[in-house]
Chains A and B, each alone.
Chain A
Amino acid sequence: MFRKLPDPAAPTVTVTIDGRAHTVAAHETAASAALLAGMGATRRSPVTGEPRAPFCMMGVCYECLMVIDDVPSRQACLVTVADGMRIDRQPGARALDFGGEDA
């Protein structure tokens, strides 16, 4: 349904999505990069366990919560990609490790 406009001049970065390296345009967000990489479901609902994926792409719906650089529950549609960024699925509710140090 969607086709990405060709922009050969756009600078690129390399990110790791679901454990695999991808080269993406530097202006992408973590959410759009995950969609372009064909990741499909980017999280599971902590309430129902349903697979979910980015929806509004503008910071409103919270469907795009993902683990980015080991920090859980980030709104991936509001995070611009950066070189070396790790973007991972969020499997249900995040854990709160007592005495842990994630942001």
Chain B
Amino acid sequence: MAEASYDFVVVGGGVVGASIGFGLARRGARVAILDQGDAALRSSRVNFGLVWLQSKGDGMPDYGRWTRRSADLWTGFAAELRELSGIDTEHEQNGGVSFCLGEAEFEQRRNTIQRMHNQVEPWVYETRMIDRKEVEALYPGVRFGPEMVGASFCPHDGVSNPLRLLQSLHGALKTIGVAYRPDAPATAIRRDGAGFAIDTPAGTFRAGKLVLAAGHATTKLAAPLGLEAPIVPERGQLVVTERVAPILPIPASGVRQTRDGTIMIGTTHEAAPDLTTRTTTGNMVHIAERAVQVLPDLARLRIVRSWLGLRVLSPDGFPVYMESETHPGAYVAICHSGNTLAAVHANDLAEAFLAHRLPERLDSFHPRRFHVSQAA
């Protein structure tokens, strides 16, 4: 088989790899994306769809700024994808809320918002606490449960349809001539002159530079290249109701209505050492109960589907980006919020990978932060 040669090979064709590959190709690079096909765990296909800022970056101010940057880029990104793919990602940015049940939760949320606000410039979050009356004004006609005392509201929050996003990215990749190869999962990666050779069942691919963005599969591929991709996988379960006429105009953390009318209810945070994806009734009941405390009338809707996704989480929950010191030109990109960060990945991160050296603004995301000796 003839060996193909590219400027960049991106390993992983989920939302993270596809966004980066898209950004690289839009800036003139010849790109191949090597993927696992439909057998992949594919966290991109199981997420809630929020493009979400207000909860991101507590303890890492640069992550807050990075997320805000992505939220700002998203509208243009969605328009670019629609033009190239003909597919609407259903992106909306009309703000979003996180409901509080009871005064204690409200106070706790207020403290978190204040703490995050204090870590960065005032423009980054602009999240504020709103009382029950203000919440009711955001959701005209909706009846809330008596325990819903208020919420945090961030005007930069929004939502997209994650399935359409992935489909749109892949359509756009095709339009701009990126080689997407679901038949070519990377099995081994070696240095090859100044670049890299990537072995796959469909033959060997050669590239000047290499990006590992393969979600849960990244850790194993990273080590031989002097890269680190520490992942502590986490299970998150969702339930989805039958379709109803529009009632929830803006998304909330844990409950949102899709454009097609279904109401998505989430989610759990459970350790997932074995990467199984079976849902558990007890946890689904738990998240449904909370949703019904916020919106009692949801109890009359039928649940039509449930599923479990595996979050790609680093030990502190923040993204990991790095370039290898032993193998310059090899990069890692793993993160939980591939949907939210898709726009910044397709722009700023792609530019960083095209540059000779990673810019300083990405230093905070280097996994050296997990090295105990340096942290001490």
B-binding residues in A (CB < 8 A)? 46-47, 62, 65, 73, 92-103
B242 interfacial contact with A, CB 8 Å: yes
B2 interfacial contact with A, CB 8 Å: no
User: Which of A47, A100, A103 has a CB less than 8 Å from the CB of B261?
Assistant: A47
Q: How far is the CA of A96 from the CA of B302 in the complex (A)?
A: 11
Q: Report if A93-B261 is in contact (Cβ < 8 Å); known contacts: A98-B297, A100-B297, A100-B300.
A: yes
Contacts of B304 in A (CB 8 A): 62
Contacts of B260 in A (CB 8 A): 46-47
Q: How far is the CA of A4 from the CA of B267 in the complex (A)?
A: 48
Q: Report if A99-B242 is in contact (Cβ < 8 Å); known contacts: A46-B260, A73-B302.
A: no
Q: Report if A94-B244 is in contact (Cβ < 8 Å); known contacts: A46-B260, A46-B261, A47-B260.
A: yes
CB pair A102–B300 under 8 Å, yes or no, is: yes
A-binding residues in B (CB < 8 A)? 141-143, 242-245, 247, 260-261, 297-298, 300-302, 304
How many pairs, one residue from A and one from B, have CB atoms within 8 Å of each other in the complex? 43
Q: Is the interface of B mostly helix, strand, loop or mixed?
A: loop
CB pair A93–B243 under 8 Å, yes or no, is: yes
CB distance from B368 to the nearest CB of A (A): 48
User: Which of A93, A94, A98 has a CB less than 8 Å from the CB of B141?
Assistant: A98
CB distance from B280 to the nearest CB of A (A): 24
- Residue of B with least CB distance to A65: B242
CB pair B245–A103 under 8 Å, yes or no, is: no
Contacts of A95 in B (CB 8 A): 244-245
CB pair B243–A96 under 8 Å, yes or no, is: no
User: Which of A94, A100, A101 has a CB less than 8 Å from the CB of B245?
Assistant: A94
